[in-house]
Amino acid sequence: MINASSSGQQVWVAGGIYKPSTSGLTDSRAATFRAKAGVTILGGFTGATGTEGNVSARTASPSSTTLSGDLGTIGDQADNAYHVVSAFLNAGEVALLDGLCVTAGNANGSDAINRRGGGVLINSNVSLANCQITGNTCVDLGGGIYVQNATGGSWENCQITNNSAPQGNGSGGGGMLQSCANYQMRNCQFTANQTSFQGGGLYIRQSTPIQLVSCVFDQNAATAFGGFGAGLNLDYSSATIVNSFFTRNRGNYGGALFSGNGSVAMCINTTIRANTSGVAGGAVYSFNDGRINLTNCVLWGNGGQDATAGFNNYFNYTLTQPIPFNYNNQGGNIIATFDPFESSTGPALKACAPAIDAGSDAANATTTDLLGNARKVRTIDMGAAEFRGTPYTLSMTAQATPSAVCVGTSTSLQAIPSGSPNTPYSYTWVAPAGATLSSTSDNPTLAKPTSAGTPSFRINVTDRLGCLATASVSVTANALPTQYSVTGGGSYCAEGSGVVVGLSGSQIGVSYRLRLNGNAVGNTVAGTGSAISFGSQTAAGNYTVQATNASTACQQSMTGSATVTVNNLPTPGLTNNGPLSCTMTTVTLTATARC
C-alpha cells in the first residue's frame, strides 16, 4: 500500500503486527518499511464500528499498529531487520509517520549505514507523531531513531523507550540527530534507554537549533565506556529545552544533561531531579567550552555538591539545594531548605514551595506547562510544572522565657508557627555546644546553658505536607561567680574572741555572704579581687559562703567550709587530805578543774 501511494496521500493502517517484506532481497535483514515523499502513514485504526474514516478515533499511544523487525526466529535479534522503518527523501521533501509502534530493529550490520537507526533510519525531513519506538538496538548511533541531514521536522507525542546502543562507542540509545537544523521535539518521553558512550536518551551532534518542549527523560543510562549525558548529550550543537523534566537518569559525566565542545543548552522551566553520576555532574556537566544556561529551573536531589560539574553553568531564577554548586549566579536564584515537590517522583510543586511565583515571566512565552496546565497562573513558577492552587508560606517565630538565665538554670523555649493550613506541626530543636535540651521534639521545651555566652537554639518546624520553616532564638547565659575556697575556722575557748573565717579570693562586682549551718549570718562583704575576711566568728558550727553577682543575681556556693568549735572554760575546785584532828594539825590543799 505504501509503495502504491503518491505525494499528498495518506496510508491508513489497521491494528495488528506488520513486518517488512524480504522478497527479492539477498540479505533479508535489509527489509524495511520505506517512507515516501509527501505521504502520511497513519496507524492505530481498530476497525471498530463507527471508527473507520475517523482519524481521531484511533487508539492512543501505544498504537494498536506495530511495525516489527523480528523477521526470522521470533525473539532472536540476530536475524532482525537492520531498520524497521527508513526514509531517504530528496531535499525539500517531507513525510509523516503517525500512530505507529516500531520495534525489534537491530542495526548491527557490517557497513556504517546498517549500524545506525535500529528502529527508524531517516536521512531527510521526516516527522513522527504519536509513535512508540521501543526495543530497538544498534552498535553505532541511534538505537531507536537516527536522523541525519534534516533541515526541518519534528517528533511529537512520541515515546522512545527501552532502546539501546550498548557497545563500545555506541551513542544515542534512544535516538540521535546528526547534522540537523530547525528540528523540534514536543511532548516526547525518553524512558529506560541505554548507551555505553554518549546520550542514553538522546544524542544531538552538529545540529542547531534544536527545540525540546515538554519532554521527559526518565531512567536513561550512560554508564559504561564513557557515560556522557545519560539523559541528553549535546555535541557541537545548540538546543532550547523548555518545560521539560529530567529524572532518575544515570551517567558517569552528567546524569541528566551533558553539553560539550562548544554546545549551548538553554534550559527554561525545566526540572532536574534525582539524577546521578558515577564521576561528576549528577545533574549537569559543561565540558570543553560547552555551556549550560538554566532559567526558571529546579535542581533537586542530584548528588549533593557533585550535582553540577564544569565551569560554564549559568543559573538564573533557579531553585537549588543548600549545598555547594559549581555554577555562575546570574541572579534571582533561590536556595531552598526543604524538598519542594508534591510527590516523591514527579515535577509538581507542593503548595509551600519557594519556587511558586518566583520565576521570570520574560523567559518563557509558552502557554502550557509539562502537565498540560496553564503555564502562568500568577507570576510564572520555577520548574516544569505550574502550581495551580493557593500557595502559602510557613513562617515561624521563637521565644525564650526568660531570655536571660544563669548557667545551669533552665529557660522555656517556644516555637510559634503560622501560615500553614496543613497541621499538625512537628518540631525539631537543636542545641548548640554548651547547652542541653529536655526534649528535641516537644514544644515548648526546656533549655539549660552549661557555659556562659549567648547560645542560639535552632528550631525546624514542618507541617503535614513537609513544608519547613526554620528559626532560631538566643539565650543570654550569665556566668556564675568564680568559686574560691573557704578558709579559717578552728577551735577556741569560751569567752574568747573566736576564730577568723575568710575566702581565698573574690571578684569585684560580687557580694559574699557567710552562712552558718545553712543560714545567712552577718553582713555581705563586697569582693575586692583578692582574699577577703568575714572576721572572727564566735558561734560554733559549719560555715559556708554564698556568692551573688550584683548585676545578674547569679549565685554560686564557694568550695569547702570552715568549722568553728567552742571549748568550754574549766570549773575550779579544791581538794585536801584532811580532815584536821588532834593528831593531824595540817592539811594539803590541791586545786582542780573540770570541763
Tally of domains within the chain: 2
pLDDT for position 593? 58
- Using DSSP bridges, classify how beta strands 65-68 and 145-148 pair: parallel, antiparallel or unpaired: unpaired
Residue 77 — left, alpha, or beta (φ > 0 → left; ψ -120 to 50 → alpha)? alpha
pLDDT for position 73? 93
d(CA 211, CA 435) in angstroms, rounded, equals 57
d(CA 144, CA 484) in angstroms, rounded, equals 84
Which residues make beta-bridge pairs with 468?
Answer: 462
Looking at the structure, tell me whether residues 499 and 550 fall in a common domain.
yes
Does the residue 514 lie in any domain?
yes
Does the residue 155 lie in any domain?
no
pLDDT for position 490? 95
Looking at the structure, tell me whether residues 535 and 554 fall in a common domain.
yes
Summarised one tens digit per residue, pLDDT across range 220-243 is 999 877 899 999 999 999 999 999
Domain CATH number, residue 532: 2.60.40
pLDDT for position 595? 46
The grid coordinates listed for 329 are 549566579
Does the residue 556 lie in any domain?
yes
Looking at residue 164, its amino acid is S
Looking at the structure, tell me whether residues 410 and 453 fall in a common domain.
yes
Domain CATH number, residue 446: 2.60.40.1080
Q: Which of 478, 505, 525 is the last residue of a domain?
A: 478
Q: How far is CA 73 from CA 77, 78, 81, 580, in A?
A: 8, 9, 12, 153
Residues in the chain: 595
Looking at the structure, tell me whether residues 433 and 502 fall in a common domain.
no
Phi, psi of 277 (to 5 degrees): -135, 145
Q: Which of 478, 501, 517 is the last residue of a domain?
A: 478
Neighbours of 595 (CB within 10 A): 9
pLDDT for position 50? 66
pLDDT for position 382? 98
pLDDT for position 56? 76
User: What residue ranges of the chain have pLDDT lower than 70?
Assistant: 1, 49-53, 60-61, 324, 578, 591-595
Which residues make beta-bridge pairs with 198?
Answer: 171, 228
pLDDT for position 306? 84
d(CA 118, CA 522) in angstroms, rounded, equals 103
Does the residue 459 lie in any domain?
yes
Looking at the structure, tell me whether residues 474 and 490 fall in a common domain.
no
Q: Domain range spanning residue 444? A: 395-478
Outline where DSSP puts E strands in 105-243. 106-107, 120-122, 125-129, 132-134, 137-138, 145-148, 153-156, 159-161, 164-165, 175-178, 183-186, 189-191, 194-195, 202-205, 210-213, 216-218, 221-222, 232-235, 238-242
DSSP states of 299-314: EESS-GGGSEESS-EE
pLDDT for position 57? 73
Q: Which of 478, 495, 529 is the last residue of a domain?
A: 478
pLDDT for position 169? 83
Looking at the structure, tell me whether residues 554 and 510 fall in a common domain.
yes
Which segments of 91-219 does DSSP mark as H helices, in order?
none
Does the residue 90 lie in any domain?
no
Looking at residue 250, its amino acid is R
Does the residue 410 lie in any domain?
yes
The grid coordinates listed for 539 are 558561734
Looking at the structure, tell me whether residues 416 and 472 fall in a common domain.
yes
In sequence order, the 6+-apart residues with CB closer than 8 A to the CB of 397 are 415, 416, 471
Looking at the structure, tell me whether residues 401 and 466 fall in a common domain.
yes
Does the residue 260 lie in any domain?
no
Looking at the structure, tell me whether residues 447 and 508 fall in a common domain.
no
- CB-count exposure of residue 161 (10 Å: 0-12, 13-18, 19+): buried
d(CA 436, CA 432) in angstroms, rounded, equals 8
In sequence order, the 6+-apart residues with CB closer than 8 A to the CB of 230 are 200, 201, 220, 221, 222, 223, 249, 250, 251, 254, 255, 256, 275
Scanning the structure block, which residue is given the C-alpha cell 545533574? 283
Mapped onto helix, strand or coil, the DSSP state of residue 498 is coil
Looking at the structure, tell me whether residues 491 and 560 fall in a common domain.
yes
CB of 51 closer than 8 Å to CB of 44: no
Does the residue 325 lie in any domain?
no
